[in-house]
Structure 1
Amino acid sequence: MKLLVYSAKDFEIPFLEKANSAQHKVRYIPEALDSNTAIKAIGFEAISIFSGDDASLVVLEKLRDLGVKYITLRSAGYNNIQIKAAKRFGLKVANAPDYSPNAIAELAVALLMTINRKIIVADKQVHAHNFDQKNLLGCDLVHKTVGVIGVGRIGSVMVKIMHGFGCNILAHDLQPNGDLVEKYQVKYTSLEELYAQSDIISLHVPLTHETHYMVSENAFNLMKPTVVLLNTARGAVVDTKTLIKVLKEKRIAGYATDVYEKEKGIFFKDHSARGIQDERLLTLLSFENVLLTPHQGYVTKEALKNIADITFANLNCWADGEECKNELGYETLVL
């Protein structure tokens, strides 16, 4: 099968090449998929896309007309592809679920520790030969209440790690995990109670119609002014406009995130020469109590290997006419 890999990054290509083992004819291009670059898929039966690629209705229609039959995502999330349109056009779509829950949860903890203990501030100070400590006040995590919203594979790992710190865990999920309750004393509760009681809140939900702007004015109104909010899920789970307002009013202690609501055209690229024009992102970056990383949760050796293996496992199933376990159910509604 001929595969075109969009948004191919130099550091991931070796993992993809090893997973392929020269079985499929693969071309790698750095460009993201959109209505302009869809034409590059001419002559390819399959494409692979990343979370920043645009697989909207117009793009999918173009891909169908070009002869593309299969789309394998190198991500667990798939809010960037219109699944119902893909079905209508006869395209098969699969994602890469469960590629490394540890990678994402561990980054969430790294973000928490960095913002809590003022690591970036301290690093900048000592590089300037300033060894003063007056701006470095943090807090112990032991006995703090951590609210985990979305307790699937990643959220479960987050629960285990925070339990290891000696934290009390509140959780919210549509399907409570009895094993976590028994082993880690997790208390499942309503969103309202979780918002109100938590010292730290960590988001681990997919982006759907239900979770879009889940954290907005009503949620912030319930939170403690000392809360730290972590987001390694999707940017649009948090209402950015309201978040900025809340930060200006000092109604939360900090926001640490690996994602942003309007990543398209900004993330996964180097803008250091020309800068960025997104005013909301620039405003977020101006706050000392905001920590933002460039969607790097998946950037570990283990995660990249697993993503590559799953990507080609999906392709192999289709090539062999077998059922693909990661093929997305078309009844799923996502943004």
Structure 2
Amino acid sequence: MKVAFFSAKPYEETVFKAAALSLEKALSSEKALSVEKAEGIPPISFTYFPHQLTAETALLCQGYDAVCVFVNDELNAKTLYILHEAGIKHIALRCAGFNNVDIATAHELNISVSRVPAYSPETVAEHTLALILTLNRKTHKAYNRVKEGNFELSGLLGFTLHNKTVGVIGTGRIGQSVIRILKGFGCNVLCYDPYPNEQLKQEGVVYTSLESLFSQSHIVTLHCPLTEQSYHLINESSIALMPKGAMLINTSRGGLIDDKSVINALKSGHLGYVGLDVYERESELFFSDHSQDIIQDDVFQRLLTFPNVLVTGHQGFFTKEALSEIATITLDNLRFFAGDSSLNVNNNMVQHIT
């Protein structure tokens, strides 16, 4: 089975090659032992393309069976029709979100789509806390001061997380991990999710309305998918409900936030801190070196001017453990697509959307 792997980075090639080799050895061993499930499953070979998948680059997919894509690859209707004409039958997302895929068109064209619904949720949860703690205690500023021999503490005043109320929007696997870490800090946690988790409720987690969460939370952190309903969930109205000086954290999807409303709230002082690992128009910036370029996105550049804004380039997922799990689960998804009946669709490991 030939797979075109787009937006490939050297570290991904290393991890996927290791995972594929490990899988090949395991299947060879099973065949040697006459294990039935190992029969008839074709080997998977990747061709790594460093550029994004778009309608233009989709022309490269002639002769491939599937594509493997990431968060900023463009799988709109135009791209999907070109993939269909090239003979692509499956799209393997190596991420949890699938807002960049026109699912209806994929279904219409009989192109199946899979994703990685859960990969080391603690990885993104820990990055969320890193943003909170760095913004609060200003360790990034302290580091630069000390490097210059400046040990003055003025301007580095933070607050104690213990007993603070944190609003967690989205209580999937990542949200749950964030909640448990926050509980360890002694925070009071409020949650919102259209589908409350019963296990969390039994553990004493309080679910409330969005309005109540916004109005009571010192910190609001987003861990929900980007849908038509959640698009610009953080806007002028929702920010107005937050206490003055509140902290906003987003390690989920950039489109959850209306950037201009956030900028206005930062200028007025209503928002005290903003930590972002994602950005609505990040596909033009993130995962590439633009240090020698003049960045044309004025909104992004304006965000960077605020001393109380911290932006990381979508690195919340970026740990050895998470990359390894992403590779393993993506390979399992491709094996399922190829007809490996030993894998169960829609479990924690394999999930096909359409």
TM score, norm. by length of structure 1: 0.96
SS in 2 for 1:201: strand
The Cα shift of 1:320 comes to 2.0
Provide structure 1 residue ranges, at least 5 long, that are not aligned to the other structure. Answer: 331-335
SS at match of 1:253: strand
- From the CA coordinates, give the structure whose radius of gyration is larger: 2
Between the aligned partners of 2:182 and 2:223, the Cα distance in structure 1 is: 14
**What amino acid is the match of 2:170?**
G
Aligned to 2:79: 59
- The corresponding residue for 1:243 is 262
Aligned counterpart, 1:228: 247
AA in 2 matched with 1:130: N
Question: How far apart are 1:147 and its partner, in Å?
Answer: 0.5
Number of residues of Structure 1 aligned to a counterpart in Structure 2? 329
Aligned to 2:29: none
Counterpart of 2:168 in structure 1 is 148
Which residues of 2 match residues 210-289 of structure 1 at below 5 A? 210-289=229-308
Aligned identity (percent) is 41
Task: Give distance in 1, aligned partners of 2:352 and 2:225.
Answer: 14
CA deviation after TM superposition for structure 1 residue 285, in Å: 0.5
Contact 2:116 2:351 (8 Å CA) reproduced: no
Q: Taking structure 2 as the reference length, what is the TM-score of the superposition?
A: 0.91
- What one-letter code is carried by the residue in structure 2 that aligns with 1:165? F
Asked if the contact 1:92/1:327 (under 8 Å) is kept, the reply is no
Aligned residue identity for 1:2: K
Specify which of 76, 99, 109 is matched with residue 79 of structure 1.
99
- Aligned residue number for residue 298 of structure 1: 317
The answer on 1:133 being equivalent to 2:117 is no
- Determine the C-alpha separation between the residues in 1 that align with 2:241 and 2:345: 43
Residue 324 of structure 1: how far off its partner (Å): 3.8
Show the counterpart of 1:10. Answer: 10
Q: Are the counterparts in 2 of residues 168 and 186 from structure 1 also a CA contact under 8 Å?
A: no
Distance 1:40 1:133 in 2: 56
Cα drift, residue 101 of structure 1: 0.8
Structure 1 distance, partners of 2:284, 2:197, is 38
- Once residues 28 and 167 of structure 1 are traced to their aligned partners in structure 2, the CA distance between those partners, rounded to angstroms, is 44
Shifted more, 119-128 versus 103-112: the winner is 119-128
Listed one character per residue, the Cα deviations across residues 228-249 of structure 1 (whole Å, up to 9, x for unaligned) are 1110111110111111111111
Shift of 1:328: 3.8
- Indicate which of 129, 132, 141 corresponds to 1:109: 129
Determine the C-alpha separation between the residues in 2 that align with 1:68 and 1:179: 40
1:69 to 2:78 alignment? no
